[in-house]
Amino acid sequence: MDWKQIIDKYYTDNDELKDILIRHSRAVAEKALSIAEKHPELNLDTTFIEEASMLHDIGIIKTDAPDIKCYGTEPYIRHGVLGAEMLRTEGFPRHARVCERHTGAGLSFNEIVSRNLPLPHMDLLPETLEEQVICYADKFFSKTRLDTEKTIEQAEKSVAKHGEEGLKRFCKWKEMFE
């Protein structure tokens, strides 16, 4: 099964949301792939980057975010862990890690506990270079302005809203990937 078949399996009756998911994910994939191309010394797995970028937000269908056509019941912040469950069920554990670790600039155990987030009490931080590149690329695209890439300054401002830890990770990635 490829990423298209997985999306088709879960997004059968909400074409608007499917379009948002695919357009957002394609923008993330293209940015992540351009980073890989710009940095051959990182020896990134570009096939995986494309697949995982296209699937990183698959869990949004289970969340309650009507402004982006999500009519599920879960809090939006859980879309990553929900997507990870979906992809593990489909036999894609490596892709599942990207789902659960891309929220914000990743979330540490301390951030989850101190902010009382409805997430598992564990580090949900991107670890592999591929996970980090996808997480970084994702910060440049929203699901409400699908055709607009944020500037680095706009992405930093957005990440900073959620705390200093995430901003530090984002700035480290900026040095690595730009």
Partners of 65 in beta bridges: 70
Domain boundaries defined on the chain: 3-177
Q: 53-88, pLDDT tens digit by residue? A: 999 999 999 999 999 999 999 999 999 999 999 999
3-177 folds as Hypothetical protein af1432 (1.10.3210)
Reduce the DSSP state of residue 71 to 3 states and report it.
strand
> Which tens digit of pLDDT belongs to each residue from 116-154?
999 999 999 999 999 999 999 999 999 999 989 999 999
Please give the Cα distance from 140 to 67 (Å, whole number). Answer: 19
Residue 121 vs residues 89, 110, 113, 160, 168: alpha-carbon distances, Å: 21, 8, 7, 22, 21
